[in-house]
Copies of this chain bind each other. A is one copy, B any other.
Amino acid sequence: MKNCSDAWLEKLSLAKNSPIYPKGQFIFMEGSLVMGAYFILKGKVKVISSSLDGKEHTVRLAREGHMLGHTAIGMEKYSIGAVTLTDSQVCFIDNQTLQAAFMENPKFTFEVMRFYSRELRKSEIRTKCLALMNNEEKVILGLLYIADNYLPDPNDNQVEINLSRQEIAQIIGTNSEQVSRVLSSLKKDGLIETHERAILLCDIRKLKEVISHYAFATQY
């Protein structure tokens, strides 16, 4: 992400002093005051948003190199929250420094713009899929979405996922019962295995085939 800026790398390289948040920790909460933006140096993070009735939805997963919270700049409060899914090192950059970095590093700004435009495309694909798919397809989509965010090498065909049924449900907008049902069915078909709470996607390519009639669904 920041291989685009120059002397600014130094300024930003307070990075090395960035705190490590343990798993399950809030980086910032919905409703808190906006002071700046965050870069993920290491780890996995979920971006969440709540409805008044207490339900919580996971709007996005993020990983190393991703930027968080910048959308809120110009607003008073964050309209989303961010929670670590694994131990994560996160670098905070205040508004003014970030603004100055943008103005003096066009390439950096350009890359951030491209990041957001790609994330927008991904979000739109997700919206479309969640709007058109049935439960089983949504769960598979969710698993693949998580896998994409966890996989080091996109060519790998297996990955282990360590999220609760509830957390998976919040990603695709359903409840834990539905997720359980689909997981049982997928297990019967040999597409996944479960060891204790962990879910092993045995054959990612085959899972993608199941929902392949939704063009671009697997384009994360």
A residues in contact (CB < 8 Å) with B: 47, 49-53, 55, 57, 59-60, 70-71, 74, 79-80, 102-107, 109-110, 112-114, 116-121, 123-128, 130-132, 172-174, 212-216, 219
Contact = CB atoms under 8 A, between A and B. Distances in A.
A71 B109 contact: no
A47 B59 CA distance: 21
A71 B112 contact: no
Given A110-B103, A128-B57, A172-B131, A51 B215 contact: yes
A24 to B, nearest CB: 22
A12 B51 CA distance: 43
A121 B52 contact: no
Contact of A110 (B47, B102, B172, B174): B102
B118 A71 contact: yes
A49 B125 contact: yes
B214 A128 contact: no
B215 A50 contact: yes
B79 A216 contact: yes
A52 B103 CA distance: 43
Contacts of A60: 124
A69 B127 CA distance: 18
